[in-house]
Structure 1
């Protein structure tokens, strides 16, 4: 077979022509491959960017969700708990955590939430103080006006009791007087909760008088047994507060025990003061009630009228307020009750006690005892007595007459001038002057 191109020169030309045509094609293929790789790199970069964007969007969505949850937690949980804690006197330790998600605290939104929380706290405190102040002013005004009327009522009842002598009428008036005293006690306790003086200022009084005064203000006073004697005295500034506090404890003991059981009062003297104990024979108290009673009697937390339950209970709160203000202490327990009920305790420190009054000596009671002999002296002066009975002449009008006496030499040595007279030297002169005044008064009455 004869080759198509037998001439070498012709083969060379063909090869050279084919090479000239294939070289540009190769270049184009390389260029397209490079562009394809660049496009693939761009696509990969775009996909990575898209994945990162999707991740960022997911994280942003989660962050927004946490902010939404945080806002809902702030509005529905934390702020109501904060307001309730401020109303009930709780501390921040009793509140739930400020943030549901702690990582939100450092964000601008978290800082804004903190600002909202602080503003809510300030507004709640201001509103609570305003409401408490208004309540105290209103309660103080009402109790003051009613107390004035009760004082007028008790004064009228006292005048009636002193003026009447009919036993039937007195028996009917006594329950009214007792009810008025109980009403006055309740008003005094409420006044004590509003930081007002509970009653009038008194002088130093025997401790037994304080106990008896408290018993007289209790409804079931016949059930109360008090000690027969006690040598102690109470300072005047705490007499009325102690009477009120003890009356509230006695009233509580009578109410919480059966009407047929006694309520016993005992007094125990210690090194640092006196303890007045009230024992009842009631069923006792539950642990929760006992803890609440101890808290109220402690007086550690200020009483807020706007936070009292409905119906309000003033008795133990009033005792705690009086104890905190005047320096004595009040408490309750069940272990030390002698009748198996509850023991209420009032501890009176030594600084609140007073010294017993000093009884004057017999030779110092001339002025005090002279009025008791005035009637006898007046009767003796009304009848004419012989001169030798009283040593001087009496005129027609009952006045003594002067007369001269011979000088009598002294029986013994004269008393030194520098020595003071004895304490009873004026007794005779005082009796003489009293008799003179009485005789003159009788003479004036007879002449009129």
Structure 2
């Protein structure tokens, strides 16, 4: 009996040791699993911390920046393993709210800026019109060649000032504001040329016997003027800006070639986006200083139904801008007017007439070719004479042209004094 006690104790101890071993192995497994779980949780926590830091330091600023630059996408999640998790979904909700609030704030700011600019440009346009009337009265009152020459220069500068104010006002929601008669395409180019600073560098190489319909004349003139000004400002002053007209089966294209620095990569994409007119333009996103040209052109093109592109290189290494006018915006040139027209000079010299003004824009036939004003009634009272084929002549000096303008002014004043009805006809 006593001999069985050690054996029983042995088995008890062995059983206890086995149980302890099993418990120890199980505990070890639990510890390992806990450590793994802890490592996973720590990694997830670090990933979330990194993602929150990436959201605050990179994604949100990039989203704000991308909203200011059309066509750019914002960065995605930093940690791909978080995709599809509740955390990632909550982050996405935060970014959506941020974008919505940012766009709402930008929209309110843009509306406020446009309202302020629109009111300011209206006031400036009014001052420009008043100044134009004063210049016209001075041109009628003076016949001194030097005074007339100076008035022509002031007149030209005022036309540039008026174009700038008109373009900004249109971008802010205004309409062009001028109603013109249908005008031949060459006259449209001449009118656009008369509104830029470097008008002497513009050369028109071809013409087409088509006219722009009345409602589209002023928008096309303004769009072409912006393109010509852009081409001249971004090219060397000793180069020319070539303008040609290309007929097509469903319209006519105005092709403008410069020898400037050209556009590349992202600049072409941004220009195409602005010229398409499909996106709402925020005046606060046009650079510093703001570049209004392409935005105004795109708005006019979308509103009136013509197309503009600048994605082709010119033969001179610069930019080729193409303005396509569909047949819906074109009309045939009046036969009588076409018969009396002569071939255009190398530099554009006469824009279309304004139907609701008594003054029509023109360029003096001088070496400087600055714009001047003339009474439409005087032109209408002149007898119709068939002009012979022009022969090459030397360019008149500015003083000679001013002397001729002085004599013309004295003659017209004398004519108005002897024929009072003519003045009444001009003011109708």
1:90 aligned residue: 71
Query: How far off its partner does 1:311 sit?
Result: 1.7
Report if the CA contact (8 A) 1:329-1:346 is conserved.
yes
Check conservation: 2:125, 2:165, Cα contact below 8 A.
Answer: yes
Alpha carbons of structure 1 residues 219 and 102: separation in structure 2 relative to 1, 3 Å: closer
Choose which of 290, 293, 316 in structure 2 pairs with 1:312.
290
Deviation at 1:293, TM superposition (A): 4.5
Confirm or deny that 1:175 pairs with 2:156.
no
Match status 1:199 vs 2:177:
yes
**Cα shift at 1:82:** 2.2
Aligned-partner Cα distance in 2 for 1:352–1:331 = 18
Matched, 1:352 2:329: yes
Indicate if the aligned counterparts of 1:136 and 1:305 stay in contact, CA closer than 8 A.
Answer: yes
Match 2:51 to one of 56, 63, 70: 70
Q: Which residue is equivalent to 2:11? A: 30
Q: Distance between the aligned counterparts of 2:156 and 2:39, measured in 1?
A: 79
Change (3 A) 1:120 1:146: same
Aligned CA distance change for structure 1 residues 58 and 340 (closer, same or farther; 3 Å): closer
Relative to structure 1, the CA distance from residue 325 to residue 101 in structure 2 (aligned partners, 3 Å threshold; closer, same or farther) is same
Residue 72 of structure 1 deviates from its aligned partner by 2.1
Range 148-157 or range 342-351, more displaced: 342-351
Shift of 1:207: 2.7
**Secondary structure of the residue that 2:2 maps to in structure 1?**
helix
Task: Report the CA distance between 1:155 and its aligned residue.
Answer: 1.7
- Which ranges of structure 2 fall in alignment gaps of 5 or more residues? 338-379, 382-428
Equivalent position SS for 2:291 = coil
What secondary structure, in the 3-state scheme, does the structure 2 residue paired with 1:196 have?
coil
Shift of 1:197: 0.7
Q: In structure 2, how many angstroms separate the alpha carbons of the residues matched to 1:54 and 1:260?
A: 77
What residue in structure 2 maps to residue 287 of structure 1?
Answer: 264
Does the CA-based 8 Å contact 1:334-1:340 persist in structure 2?
no
- Given candidates 186, 209, 228, the residue that maps to 1:250 is 228
State the TM-score, normalized to the length of structure 2.
0.70
- Give matches, 1:213-252, under 5 Å: 213-226=191-204, 231-252=209-230
Preserved contact between residue 207 and residue 245 of structure 2 (Cα < 8 Å):
no
- Residue aligned with 1:344, SS: strand
Residue of structure 1 equivalent to 2:243? 265
The question of whether the paired residues in 2 share the 8 Å contact of 1:87 and 1:128 is answered with: no
Superposed CA deviations along residues 189-231 of structure 1, whole A, max 9, x for unmatched, are: 1122223212312222233332221122122223333468653
Cα contact 1:206–1:231 (8 A) shared by 2: yes
SS of equivalent residue, structure 1 residue 277: strand
Q: Distance in 1 between matches of 2:71 and 2:272?
A: 18
Q: CA deviation at 1:60?
A: 2.0
Q: Which moved more, 1:61-70 or 1:147-156?
A: 61-70
- 1:332 match: secondary structure: strand
**Number of positions where the alignment pairs a residue of Structure 1 with one of Structure 2:** 338
Query: 2-side partners of 1:259 and 1:45: how far apart?
Result: 88
Distance in 2, matches of 1:270 and 1:55, equals 74
Based on CA coordinates, which of the two structures has the bigger radius of gyration? 1
How many Å separate the matches in 1 of 2:311 and 2:87? 52
Q: Secondary structure at the match of 1:330?
A: strand
In structure 1, the residue corresponding to 2:148 is in which secondary structure?
helix
Q: Which residue of 1 aligns with 2:96?
A: 118
CA contact (8 A) 1:205 1:239 kept: yes
Is 145-154 or 268-277 further displaced after alignment? 268-277
How far apart are 1:291 and its partner, in Å? 5.6
1:144-173 alpha-carbon deviations (Å, 9 max, x no partner):
221111111112212222333333322221
User: Which residue in the other structure is 1:10 paired with?
Assistant: none
Contact 1:332 1:343 in 2 (8 A): yes
CA distance in 1, matches of 2:4, 2:318: 118
Which residue of structure 1 lines up, in the alignment, with residue 22 of structure 2? Answer: 41
Q: Is the 1:161–1:170 contact (alpha carbons within 8 Å) kept by the matching residues of 2?
A: yes
Distance 1:57 1:220 in 2: 74
Q: Secondary structure at the match of 2:324?
A: strand
1:200 match: secondary structure: coil
3-state DSSP class of the match of 1:312? coil
